Amino acid sequence: MEFLLREIPDVRILTADSSARPISRWYSQKPVLITFAYSRCPGVCNPYLLQIRDRVLLQGTNESNFQMMVLSFDPNDDSKRLSKLAGFTEASPPPANWTFGVLEQESSDRLLTSLGLELQVVDNLYEHNTILALIDTNGKILQWIEGLPTNDQWNRLFKELTHDFVPVYSTLGSNVWMSCFRFDPASGNWRMNWGLLLIVAPAIFTVSLLLLLQIISGKARKKHSYSTLTQNQQ
């Protein structure tokens, strides 16, 4: 939650044509999905980017709705190697709304800090967490996901990109048993939760008590009527 609605710095990006352009050039036109990787990565970068690529392409969201940016913090990197890391080739190039770039070193720390990317150099390689962030056209963070997004998080991202109404967002501690209802973003359905019972329990108890008293009162009246009838017969 600490990253939501935070405005990112307008840092410069080196793209395929080697020109440095401010990141606002992209997000000012349409929302941007940003993630980070570097091509020399011996670990998670390649499988992470492949899953991001597959999910974005599988969703089939209109390319005009958003821009996908893969940025490297490695000054020795270039956009072609990043594109290859994400599984694209000359025969199968990335869609037009994908951009691969390298952060200018003078300002890269500012962007990484604003987006919560934790970076550490170990044996000339980088150890880092994986971040996927949705940036709106004002440069503010609308959604922030650490690690590979879940199905719910993907659905929420794409609903945001297509301007679909999202009635409820999942939060930390979404499994709180005292909540009245639980919303499933994947199916769009509502389910009752235990918290609802706490609200209706007093009413149920009151109705049950009234019914019990009515039953007891009815039995007492019947007993009294039977006793009176017996005495009259005698």
Q: What is the pLDDT of residue 203?
A: 81
Take residue 112 and report the two structure tokens written for it.
């990484």
Do residues 102 and 198 both lie within one domain?
A: no
Q: What is the pLDDT of residue 9?
A: 95
Mark 37-48 as b/e (b = at least 16 C-beta within 10 Å). bbbebeeebbeb
C-alpha closest to that of 109 among 75, 82, 142, 132 = 75
Question: Mind listing the pLDDT tens digit for each residue in 61-95?
Answer: 666 789 999 999 999 999 999 999 999 999 999 99
**Percent of the chain residues past pLDDT 90, beyond the cut:** 45
List CB contacts of 217: < 8 A, sequence separation 6 or more.
none
Residue 158: pLDDT band by 50, 70, 90 thresholds? confident
Q: Is 1 within the bounds of a domain?
A: no
Q: What is the pLDDT of residue 58?
A: 83
- The CA distance from 119 to 213, in Å, is 69
Domain boundaries, position 114? 12-166
What is each CA distance from 192 to 38, 126, 137, in whole angstroms?
45, 46, 37
Q: What is the pLDDT of residue 233?
A: 58
17-31, 143-157, 204-218: lowest mean pLDDT where? 204-218
Domain count within the chain: 2
CATH number at residue 99: 3.40.30.10
